[in-house]
Amino acid sequence: MRIPYGTTGLELDRDLTGAEVLESAIGTLKAEGSEDDIVCKAMAAPMGSPRLAELAKGKKTATIIVSDHTRPVPSKHILPFMLAELREGNPDIDVTLLIATGFHRPTTHEELVNKVGEKIANEEKFVCHDSRNPEANVDIGVLPSGARLVIDKVAAETDLLVSEGFIEPHFFAGFSGGRKSILPGVCDQVTVLGNHCSKFIDSPYARTGILEGNPLHNDMVAAAKLAKLQYIVNVVIDEEKKVAAAFAGDPFQAHETGCAFLKGYCRVKPQRKGDIVITSNGGAPLDQNMYQSVKGLSAAEAAAAPGAVLIISSRCNDGTGGESFYHALHDCDTLENLMKRILATPMDKTDPDQWEYQILCRMMLKHRIIFVSDPSMQKTVEEMKLEYAPDLNTALDRAYADKGRDAHLVVIPNGISVIVEP
C-alpha cells in the first residue's frame, strides 16, 4: 500500500491481512463537467443570496478573502470567475485580494503564483494579512465568548466582503471553510488566540466533523456575521485536489450545505479500535511541517484503542512549523505538567501555537507516537519527546514488537480526509 508523503508517497510493504483500511469515499464522487464548470454552475445559482454581480452593484470597493499557501484550495478555478462577476456587476469596482494567513507566515510571491496563476498574481491587487501587526487591524466588536473581534482593516473597511475556500474535515473546528475565512483567516492574533484557548480546545465538541455545540465554531460564525461576510464560493476537492463540488452564496447556508455533503463521503467507522493505527497528513502541501501533521494524527487518535501505537507519515520539509510549538514540548519536564499548565492558561493569555501542542500533548499522554519523516527531522522529533522512524515498515515492525503480532491494525491512508466516528 502507498501512503501519502510529500509529493511521492511511501510504500507500506508488510502483510496487511486482517487490517482495516479507512478511506474517504470522495473518490467515488463523479463530478459533471470540468472544475471550471462546477464552480460556474454553483455561482450561477447561489444559495440564499443574489448573484455576486448583483451584490457588486453600487459598491465602490470589494475584498475577496483568498486562502493562503497552507491550503490546497484550487483558486485558479475560483478567483477568475469571482473577479469576472464582480466586474460584470460593476466594471469600476476596486477589488483587493486579501490573503488569509491566519496565524501562519506570509505567503511568498512564488507560492501565490502557484496558487492563483501568473495573470492574477501579477495583475491584481493583493494584501497579505498580518495577524501580528496591530496597526493593520481594527476592533469591530465582541464575540459570544467575550473575546474581542479584531480583523484586518482591508476586510473591515470594504463595501463588499466575500471569500473563497474549501471544505474539509477539521480537527477542532469541525470543518474548514466558510466562517474560517474570517476567524482565524483575517483576524488579529488577540482574536485568534482567544478563539483557540485551552478551554475551547478541551471541549469534547471541538473535534473533527462536529459543528453543533462546538465553542470554536460558534465564535467563528459570530465573527463572520460581525465582519459582514456576504458571499462565499467554497469547494470540495477530490483525492487529486481537483474541484469535485462547489457551494456558492450565503456564507452560512452554502457552508452548512457543503459540510453536510462532504460528511456523507468522509464518515468512516472502524469495526474495532486499532492497537496500531497508521495514517498520514495527506502529502504535500499539507505535510510540510509537524505543526500541520497534528491534524492527521487526530484521525488516528479517534480510531485508536487505549494505549495504541500511532504512526504518521509526514515529510515535514518546512520543519516544525512554529517555534513555540517546538519549545513547549522540548522544554517541558513532563507531559503531565505541560498539560496542567495549558489547562490553567486563561483565554486572554493563550500562547501562540498552544492549541496545536495541547492536542499533540493530549495524544502523547495516551499513545506512543512514531513520526516517519525526513532524516533531517530525526533530532527535532526526538527533542519533542516523540519517536522517529526512517520508514513505515520500520515503524510498523516496532509497533508489532510492542503490541504483539495479533495486534489489530487500522490504516487511514489520508488522515485529514476522514471523519472517524465511534
Q: Which residues are the active-site residues?
A: 104, 170
* 181, 187, 191, 192: CA torsion to nearest 10: 60
User: In DSSP terms, which residues pair with 165 in a beta bridge?
Assistant: 234
Q: Per DSSP, what are the bridge partners of residue 311? A: 278, 370
No. of H helices and E strands in the chain?
16, 20
**Residue that is written with C-alpha cell 482495516 in the block:** 20
Residue among 355, 354, 293 nearest 319 (CA): 293
Cβ proximity of 420 and 285 under 8 Å: no
For residue 243, the Cα-to-chain-centroid distance in whole angstroms is 17
- Which of 380, 409, 207 shows the shortest CA–CA distance to 310? 409
Closest CA to 370 of 287, 270, 300: 300
- Answer yes or no: are the C-beta atoms of 152 and 183 closer than 8 Å: no
Contacting residues for 396 by C-beta, under 8 A, at least 6 apart:
12, 14, 276, 278, 311, 409
Q: Looking up cell 470589494, which residue turns up? A: 62
